[in-house]
Amino acid sequence: MGKICVIIGTRPEIIKMSPVVLACERQEGSDWFVLHTGQHYSYGMDRVFFEQPGLPVAGYDPDVRSNTLAGTEPERIFEGARIMLNSKMNWRNPFGDGEAGAEIVEILIDEKIRLINDMVSNLRKT
* Identity of residue 66: S
Give pTM, 2 decimals. Answer: 0.61
- Coil, strand, or helix at residue 83? helix
Per-residue pLDDT of 11-60, as tens digits, reads: 888 888 889 889 988 888 888 888 887 776 677 777 888 888 888 877 66
Per-residue pLDDT of 50-87, as tens digits, reads: 888 888 877 666 665 655 555 566 677 767 777 777 77
Domains of the chain and any CATH numbers: 3-121 (3.40.50.2000)
CA distance 109 to 34: 26
